[in-house]
Amino acid sequence: MCIPTGIALGYVYGGLAGVNLGWRIAFFVEAVLMLPFVIMGFIIKPLNLKGFTPAELEKASPSEERLGSEVEGKEVGMLAGNEKNNDSSLDKTPLAKDKAKPLNQFTRFWKDLRALLREKVFLTNVLGYVAYNFVIGAYSYWGPKAGYGIYHMKNADMVFGGMTVICGILGTIAGGLVLDRMNPTLSNAFKLLSGAILLGAIFCFAAFWSRNLYGFIALFAVGELFVFATQAPVNFVCLRCIEPSLRALSMAFSTVSIHIFGDVPSSPIVGVIQDHLDNWRVTSLILTSILFLASAIWFVGIFLKGEEKFNKDIEGQAADNNSNLTPLPEKQY
Residue 142 pLDDT exceeds 80: yes
Please give the pLDDT value at position 56: 47
Mean pLDDT for the chain?
A: 80
Q: Does 26 or 212 have the greater pLDDT score?
A: 212
Q: Compute CA distances 63 → 37, 58, 82, 217, 324, whole Å.
A: 41, 14, 29, 70, 21
Confirm whether pTM is higher than 0.95: no
Report how far residue 117's alpha carbon sits from residue 244's, in angstroms, rounded to the nearest whole number: 15
Please indicate, yes or no, if residue 320 is contained in any of the structural domains.
Answer: no
Please indicate, yes or no, if residue 61 is contained in any of the structural domains.
Answer: no
Please give the pLDDT value at position 159: 80
Give yes or no: residues 159 and 210 share one domain.
yes
User: Of the given ranges (86-100, 108-122, 152-166, 204-218), which has the lowest mean pLDDT?
Assistant: 86-100
Kind and range of the H or E run holding 304 = none
Give yes or no: residues 81 and 176 share one domain.
no
- Report the domain count for the chain: 2
Give yes or no: residues 182 and 92 share one domain.
no
Q: Taking each helix axis from N to C terminus, what angle separates 186-209 and 290-301, rounded to the nearest 10 degrees?
A: 170
Residue 285 pLDDT class (50, 70, 90 cuts): very high
Please give the pLDDT value at position 99: 52
Please give the pLDDT value at position 311: 61
- Cα–chain-centroid distance for residue 52? 19
Give yes or no: residues 296 and 164 share one domain.
yes
Please give the pLDDT value at position 65: 45
Residue 124's domain comprises 2-38+119-306
- In the chain, what are the helix, strand and coil shares in percent, each to the nearest 5? 80, 0, 20
Residue 13 pLDDT exceeds 60: yes
Please give the pLDDT value at position 326: 52
Residue 57 pLDDT exceeds 70: no
Residue 43 pLDDT exceeds 50: yes
The domain that holds 175 is classified in CATH as: 1.20.1250.20
Helices and strands: H and E segment counts in the chain? 16, 0
Please indicate, yes or no, if residue 59 is contained in any of the structural domains.
Answer: no
Please indicate, yes or no, if residue 318 is contained in any of the structural domains.
Answer: no
Give yes or no: residues 204 and 91 share one domain.
no
Give yes or no: residues 290 and 232 share one domain.
yes
Report how far residue 280's alpha carbon sits from residue 273's, in angstroms, rounded to the nearest whole number: 9
Residue 16 pLDDT exceeds 60: yes
Q: What percent of the chain has pLDDT over 70?
A: 73
CA proximity to 286, closest of 129, 99, 142, 128:
142
Report how far residue 130's alpha carbon sits from residue 70's, in angstroms, rounded to the nearest whole number: 54
Please give the pLDDT value at position 184: 85
Residue 20 pLDDT class (50, 70, 90 cuts): confident
Q: Which residues lie below 8 Å from residue 3, measured CB to CB, with a gap of 6+?
A: 168, 231
Please indicate, yes or no, if residue 93 is contained in any of the structural domains.
Answer: yes
Residue 93 exposure: Cα atoms within 13 Å on the Cβ side: 12
Residue 287 pLDDT exceeds 70: yes
Residue 317 pLDDT exceeds 90: no
Give yes or no: residues 8 and 98 share one domain.
no
- Judged by DSSP in three states, 164 sits in helix
Report the 10 Å Cβ neighbour count for 134.
25
pLDDT digits (tens, 9 = 90+) for 86-132: 444 445 455 445 555 677 888 888 898 998 999 999 999 999 999 99
Contacts 24+ apart (CB under 8 A), 25-31: none
Give yes or no: residues 79 and 158 share one domain.
no
